[in-house]
Amino acid sequence: MPSPYRAIFAAPGTLGFSAAGLIGRLPISMVGVGILTMISEITGRYAMASALTGTLALAAAFIGPQVSRLVDQYGQRRVLRPATLVCVASVAVLLAAAANGWPDWTLFVCAGVAGCVPSVGSMVRARWTVIYRDSPRELHTAYSFESVVDEVCFIFGPIIAIGLSTTWFPEAGPLIAALCLLVGVWLLTAQRSTEPEPHPREEHGDRTSALRSPGLQVLTATFVATGAIFGSIDVSTLAFAGEQGHKSAASFILAVWAFGSCLAGIVFGLLHLKGKTERRWVLGVCAMAVSMIPLLLAGNLPFLAVALFVSGLAIAPTMITTMALIEAHVPRAKLTEGMTWISTGLAVGVAVGSSVTGLVIDASGARSGYVVSISSGVAAAAVAFAGYRRLTKPAQGEEPATDGDGDSRTHQQGDRVA
């Protein structure tokens, strides 16, 4: 491991909570594609499968920030454990309903309740922020490492979920994902020494949501469109591989996509870039949008794999930059909630993107699903450009998660983290 990455683990407890976070967030790339594969294997209905995964994503988008808000107030252990138990129980009932042919509405109810799944990645990043709040360079490296961990999950998660559901039994993928969530959250919350200090409402007297920040609004809206990219690519790739007669290959192609992002994240974490974070963020969003175009031209699986690898190069750097901007615009007492809103934006986008793509594929074929990817990329770039001025304005109100000096907190945060 390069020395900047090795250095961040010098702080006590960092290796332990990062390892637990890896296990706990593996389900983020397994549950959706696992349910998608399970339903398509059992019924062959892609529209139904994508609608079900969309319901889960929307439920998580609605409930997730509320869970994180409670975490900011009462601590990770007190909130995450009961939320995880409810989520795992709901997934278990969903699998039983699918296996036994229960009415469709029971599947959607279970998916909705399972939306209380915690944002494990936000919990881990909050711990890194507490440790390296006064060391911007190390915090940048830590965020880069966590983005790489996310991509590792997206490399192996779909392979495990699709592989289990297609070669073992249809419910295997979501089942293993639920078990990983349970184990990961329990291990993470057992580590009390690095848990961020809670901020009860009666102490800071602010009951408003972190989403009131104009900067966070721009970031969240942009990632709704970005999530639609992710959701559409997942569904389109699975369907395209099925049309080519190699459905199980979809997991490896999606892994190639995540691998491109993983490599970019590793390199980005080693760089000491200059310039404004906001400008670099907009460039990253635009790069993601442009990289969608070759997907529509893919005529075979090898070409699609190459195109997805290239498009993945823009993902991790954009996500890392996003975390830096969140710190500049969100108060410390609402940091976990602020980070979760980005996941929420992605979840809403995944729900919309996967649902629309499922309908498009059923009507016009798998390749046409990538039209949704391109449209979503254009929308993300448009929102980023429209909201650029909000991001360049100093944070208002409470002290942001990372301190700045003078009237240019956001700009200086960009220089420090870069």
Q: Which two tokens stand for residue 224?
A: 């709704």
Contact status, residue 295 vs residue 311, Cβ threshold 8 Å: yes
Identify the CA nearest to 275 among candidates 135, 412, 132, 390: 412
Instruction: Tell me if 340 is assigned to some domain.
Output: yes
Contact status, residue 411 vs residue 280, Cβ threshold 8 Å: no
Kindly give the interhelix angle for 249-270 and 315-329, rounded to the nearest 10 degrees.
60
Instruction: Tell me if 197 is assigned to some domain.
Output: no
pLDDT of residue 292: 92
C-beta atoms surrounding 103 within 10 Å: 9
Contact status, residue 285 vs residue 226, Cβ threshold 8 Å: yes
Instruction: Tell me if 282 is assigned to some domain.
Output: yes
Per-residue pLDDT of the chain (418 residues; tens, 9 = 90+): 457 888 888 888 999 999 999 999 888 778 877 887 888 777 777 677 878 877 887 788 788 888 888 888 888 999 999 999 999 999 999 999 888 878 888 989 998 898 888 888 889 988 998 898 888 788 888 888 888 888 777 767 767 887 888 888 888 888 998 999 999 999 999 998 888 888 776 554 556 667 677 878 888 899 899 989 988 998 899 888 888 888 778 878 888 888 888 888 888 878 776 778 788 889 999 999 999 999 888 888 899 999 999 998 998 888 888 887 887 777 777 777 788 888 778 777 877 887 788 888 888 888 888 999 999 999 999 999 988 888 776 554 445 554 433 333 333 333 333 3
Instruction: Tell me if 22 is assigned to some domain.
Output: yes
Instruction: Tell me if 317 is assigned to some domain.
Output: yes
Tell me whether residue 359 is exposed, middle or buried, using C-beta atoms within 10 angstroms of its C-beta: 0 to 12, 13 to 18, 19 or more: middle
User: How many C-alpha atoms does 12 have within 13 Å on its Cβ side?
Assistant: 5
Instruction: Tell me if 181 is assigned to some domain.
Output: yes
Read off the pLDDT of residues 58-102 as tens digits, 9 standing for 90 and up: 788 788 888 888 888 888 999 999 999 999 999 999 999 888 878
The total of structural domains in the chain comes to 1
3-state secondary structure of 101: coil
Contact status, residue 21 vs residue 150, Cβ threshold 8 Å: no
pLDDT of residue 340: 80
Between CA 253 and CA 266 the distance in angstroms is 20
Residues 6+ apart with CB under 8 A from 103: none
Taking the alpha carbons of 99, 101, 107, 109 in that order, is the dihedral positive or negative? Answer: negative
C-beta atoms surrounding 396 within 10 Å: 12
C-beta atoms surrounding 187 within 10 Å: 17
Instruction: Tell me if 201 is assigned to some domain.
Output: no
Read off the pLDDT of residues 254-264 as tens digits, 9 standing for 90 and up: 888 888 888 88
C-beta atoms surrounding 9 within 10 Å: 15
pTM over 0.85: no
Q: Which two tokens stand for residue 245?
A: 């007669």
The domain in which residue 316 lies consists of: 13-189+211-417
Instruction: Tell me if 6 is assigned to some domain.
Output: no
pLDDT of residue 169: 83
Tell me whether residue 79 is exposed, middle or buried, using C-beta atoms within 10 angstroms of its C-beta: 0 to 12, 13 to 18, 19 or more: buried
Q: What is the CATH number of the domain that holds 21?
A: 1.20.1250.20
Provide Rg for the chain, Cα atoms: 20
Contact status, residue 162 vs residue 16, Cβ threshold 8 Å: no
Which amino acid is it at 312? Answer: G
pLDDT of residue 17: 92
Read off the pLDDT of residues 9-57 as tens digits, 9 standing for 90 and up: 888 899 999 999 999 988 877 887 788 788 877 777 767 787 887 788 7
Q: Which two tokens stand for residue 367?
A: 């390749």
